A and B are shown apart, each in its own frame.
Chain A
């Protein structure tokens, strides 16, 4: 790849823009820059190396003396075991994450629309309360939430988790949509209203179609955070009814003898969907991170 072309070689590095600076000093600084960046790449990738290598090792191969070596024999057993153990949970996670992200995206877009268009007394206070809603530690609502779930008899696992991700996703999705609608020219919506469209019609025919970029961002955001959630999952499900984070944690920390190979293959399985989102939709993923920059 171009990244690793020797930046030290005179002439090559200087092809890049920024001609303003004195060349000698520039190359030295540039070399140092690349060196630090490449070294960081190595450090960041260490866990990935460990995950991959260990997931292909047989039981006898995972001895301390060979901890960092490549497998003596590449075997797929761990992957098969991990898949057998985790695939039901991955299925449940999909059943949970897909409706949860779609519903919370729609609610967020409606809220955001209302908040950005109809200013009312105390709108600022409402807005601040929503913002704060993104920061609250869910630990502070867990006990009463648990009581409610018990009282209305919601089944553990997927249905409860969908409800929770929808409700607690509202603040962030509202905020992202509200900021987006603020940036849309007001005339567009005014025009629709002049034509006699009511609020709902305006929303359905004018607002929704222009909201697609925000929907992409919000869906990615909600998908990743619901997929990766562990807190709600561990409170409101069991390893047999819960999403993949709970199942994986149980697999890796279960009572039975530690099998690093299987847990690492499992960890890779459990991360694949979010990693795919990141790889395929990387540009929007970063956008999601930015708009979610007030959430954790």
Chain B
């Protein structure tokens, strides 16, 4: 546990310290040249730069598409599978398996599926649309500057919808049968039982699913590295910027980007942790 204190919280502190210096060159990174304290200067420069704003916009768009996609699909699957049915195990296994695959491996196939060639040269999904006569669906995928990042969210949805399904399924199964019975006895239709009895019971599950998927999406890195390239402007996000800055020995900016990510995650997660902590404490 001491290890953890040092390596997590100690290093976070060290990271903030680096982010507040002018450590921007290889000579400084290796300690040949001294660095100077510049306070929050790096943060201000980053936030003011058009390129980093683009990353933040990308991150927001990616998160929204990814969250909505996995939540809607995961919830629908769980709902359809909720009542005992034939072949449930098989459906569940198929929906869940992409989760076992690394983003890098799935990136290989999605790179092909999301190939941006259109018309005669079309590959991947564009080709499929052409074959089934849905040509108008053809698009440049991740090569679109504004919306490209949303295309990268597709494989992420493919990989994690099954996980959200598993969470919701556990939620559905956790609703006591008596509650449903009681609802039916009161003359509620099957839909009303769902609407007024079961769905409200699922909100804690929905909340934790949102937090998990949300914080994964903020760290989005692997998929972008394997489908696009780190240097591609159209699909960059802060996690990728951090890598690019690090590769060019601009440690100060790299640390600042890392710190910004940490702050965003903290804003999202800390209220949730406090909330669950309180609930656990009062539940005892």
User: A: which residues have CB within 8 A of B?
Assistant: 1-5, 7, 16-18, 20-21, 30, 33, 36-37, 40-41, 44-47, 50-51, 54, 64, 67-68, 111, 124, 126, 128-133, 135-148, 167-168, 170-171, 174, 224, 227-231, 234-235, 245, 248-249, 252-253, 260, 263-264, 266-268, 270-271, 274-275, 277-278, 282, 285-286, 289-290, 293-296
Contact = CB atoms under 8 A, between A and B. Distances in A.
B102 interface: yes
B113 interface: yes
Contacts of A41: 91, 94-95
A167 B7 contact: yes
Contacts of A293: 167, 208, 212
Query: Interface of chain A, helix or strand or loop or mixed?
Result: helix
A271 B105 contact: yes
Contact of B221 (A17, A231, A266): A231
Nearest to A295: B212
A294 B212 contact: yes
Contacts, number: 249
Contacts of A47: 98, 106, 109-110, 113, 158
Nearest to B169: A286
Given A141-B12, A289-B96, 12 more contacts: A3-B86, A44-B95, A136-B262, A139-B221, A139-B239, A139-B257, A141-B8, A230-B225, A230-B226, A245-B222, A271-B101, A296-B212
B258 A50 contact: no
B104 A248 contact: yes
Contacts of B112: 50, 54, 260, 264
A277 B101 CA distance: 11
A137 B12 contact: no
25 contacts: A2-B87, A16-B84, A18-B83, A47-B98, A47-B158, A54-B112, A64-B121, A68-B128, A124-B281, A128-B274, A129-B5, A137-B218, A139-B219, A139-B258, A140-B11, A140-B259, A148-B11, A167-B3, A171-B4, A171-B8, A228-B104, A252-B111, A252-B226, A267-B108, A274-B102
Contacts of A141: 7-8, 11-12, 15, 258
B212 A266 contact: no
Interface residues of B, number: 95
Contact of B105 (A44, A142, A270): A270
Contacts of A148: 11
B233 interface: no
Given A2-B86, A33-B85, A143-B251, A230 B104 contact: yes
B236 interface: no
B246 to A, nearest CB: 7
B246 A142 contact: yes
B265 interface: yes
Contact of B84 (A18, A234, A264, A267): A18
B102 A289 contact: no
B188 interface: no
Nearest to A115: B1
A252 B110 CA distance: 12
Given A17-B84, A294-B208, A130 B4 contact: yes
Interface string B68-80: 0000010011001
A20 B9 CA distance: 56
A45 B273 contact: no
B107 A37 contact: no
B14 interface: yes
Contact of A228 (B5, B103, B167): B103
A143 B15 contact: yes
Contact of A275 (B100, B243, B255): B100
A275 B106 CA distance: 12
A5 B86 CA distance: 9
Contacts of B281: 124
A231 B222 contact: yes
